Amino acid sequence: MTKGYVYLVGAGPGDPKLITVKGSECIAKADVLVYDRLASRRLLTLARPDCELIYVGKSPDRHTLRQEEINQLLVDKGLEGKLVTRLKGGDPFVFGRGGEEAEALLKAGIQFEVVPGITSAIAVPAYAGIPVTHRDLTTSFAVITGHEDPTKNETTIHWDHLARSHGTLVFLMGMQNLPLIAQKLLENGKKPTTPVAIIQWGTRPEQRTLVGQLDTIATDVKEQGFTNPAIIIVGEVVSLREKLQWFEKKPLFGQRIIVTRARHQASELSQAIESLGGEAWEFPTIEIAPPTDKSYLIKALNNLKGFQWLIFTSVNGVEAFFTELKLQERDVRDLVGLEIVAIGPATQAALEKKGLRVSFVPEEFRAEKIVEGLTNRVLFGQRVLLARAEEARDILPESLKAMGVDVWDVPVYKTVIGGANREELKSLLREKAIHSVTFTSSSTVRNFLTLIDGDVSLLDKVALYSIGPITSATARECGLTIFKEAVQYTISGLVAALLEGNKP
């Protein structure tokens, strides 16, 4: 059998966007993904659906697999001819024991490649506003293990050199030994007032930072309950944090927020959340599919000259309409003479990208306002083509009919339940790792509840945000309480609601 290939990949310090491009490519093509607890779970979503995921869960005080067993696992999978990605927090060659794994692979004759990652020794202080070097304070830094091999007969750390150094000292995996680290530095001449910072869960929503001085930091840590994973920074650069901290000042810092939109539409909201310091988790609860019966749409497209008005209620409706228009070997020239209505600026923008001019956009982006705005525009007896979702409410066509209008209510698409990982979703909710959930339509509400098997207790203390009153009404009907509703029924409005809901 042909031997496989192993990538030893650094996942970075925690923020999943700090993975390198090459690292993400290695995840995407892997047959087997071997990962530990410091690699963001969001990175697992980059793997193929058929990829074998193996958790090896290493932490300083508890291992799911011992290092020797991990080495053997990589060898065994490589000998099976698999393409293996070993995903390690930080950088595999900075106290990541990647060298030992590489040696085991070399001994077994399995080819490997090292893909460096951003080490927490540099990234975590940066996210706390602490540069490890600064021209006015220090021109060097050292990265030291805080968890030496316990089988060694004597330490190889030169405490006297470290204590005399003017450089920044960064200790990784040292929380259990913090009292000893402080003691050794003090005994070897480090000033008791030397600034020290402890950063726990750096670059993640849980990040928190404690600043103190060398002679009291061990006591401070105990009082504040700081534990692993955390790094220790010793040196004058710590004093810069007060003015340089930036991550923790972002308005959505500390918030892990679920985005329920369809996958192809989720990026706009996710990017807005993350630019404001939040962490967006995409669990698409809906997907867009063709209508159950396309014959009504095809009939309408064949009779476009008989309509005076064409109304779109969503971007999805625009895309589905024009997809079918093309399939019927037609184009925008068939819409000549039609007055076009759009609910909301996003729908308007989608139409304008098609080269169309929109005649009317209501001030409020919901069906009731369309009727109000069209009252003096649509004439009695005119024919209106309403292109929208199969499961849409009846209020708009019924209200138009009451005006004496001939309405063709044509489904151009339907929403079906999305491909979100329901077990991952429920796991995050059980762990109380989620702070907020955003809903952008009634379908996202209903399908979200389906994904969590209707267990609303999982949403205890989770803030729910709605894009508008229709979505909020559906949530209430389903027994949910909306914490904040967007004033403007758009993604920008939803982001504004998130900011309002997270004001200090």
Identify whether residues 243 and 138 lie together within a single domain: yes
Kindly report the CATH number assigned to the domain that includes residue 440.
3.40.50.10090
Locate 162 and state its tokens.
């470290």
Identify whether residues 279 and 422 lie together within a single domain: yes
Kindly report the CATH number assigned to the domain that includes residue 196.
3.30.950.10
**Phi/psi zone of residue 381: left (φ > 0), alpha (ψ -120 to 50 degrees), beta?**
left
Looking at the DSSP bridge assignments, the partners of residue 138 are 134
Closest CA to 221 of 181, 191, 184: 181
For residue 375, what pLDDT is reported? 85
Identify whether residues 134 and 59 lie together within a single domain: no
Among residues 36, 77, 175, 414, the one annotated as catalytic is 36
For residue 262, what pLDDT is reported? 85
Identify whether residues 143 and 242 lie together within a single domain: yes
Identify whether residues 294 and 413 lie together within a single domain: yes
Closest CA to 85 of 4, 200, 187: 4
Identify whether residues 465 and 496 lie together within a single domain: yes
d(CA 129, CA 245): 4
Domains identified in the chain, total number: 4
d(CA 40, CA 55): 12
Identify whether residues 127 and 245 lie together within a single domain: yes
Q: At what angle do helices 367-374 and 395-402 cross, to 10 degrees?
A: 20
Chosen domain end from 102, 118, 134? 118
Among residues 15, 31, 58, 414, the one annotated as catalytic is 58
Locate 32 and state its tokens.
């087997």
Identify whether residues 65 and 211 lie together within a single domain: no
For residue 153, what pLDDT is reported? 61
pTM (whole model) above 0.75: yes
Annotated catalytic residue 175: no
DSSP label at 59? Answer: B
Identify whether residues 295 and 310 lie together within a single domain: yes
Contact 301, 329 (CB under 8 A): no
Identify whether residues 412 and 427 lie together within a single domain: no
Give residue for tokens 């080490």.
Answer: 119
Q: What is the mean pLDDT of each run of 10 residues along the chain (504 residues)?
A: 91 95 98 91 92 82 78 96 96 94 97 97 98 95 83 79 95 94 96 98 96 97 94 98 97 97 87 96 93 95 95 93 95 94 90 94 74 86 94 86 92 92 94 96 94 96 94 95 94 96 90
Q: Which amino acid is at 251?
A: P
Identify whether residues 302 and 277 lie together within a single domain: no
Annotated catalytic residue 36: yes
Identify whether residues 17 and 94 lie together within a single domain: yes
Chosen domain end from 64, 87, 118? 118
Chosen domain end from 70, 86, 118? 118
d(CA 20, CA 31): 19
Contact 146, 157 (CB under 8 A): no
Q: Whole domain around residue 129: which residue ranges? A: 122-249
How big, in percent rounded to 5, are the helix, strand and coil portions of the chain?
40, 20, 40
DSSP label at 211? Answer: E
Among residues 91, 173, 175, 484, the one annotated as catalytic is 173
Closest CA to 448 of 252, 281, 271: 281
For residue 16, what pLDDT is reported? 93
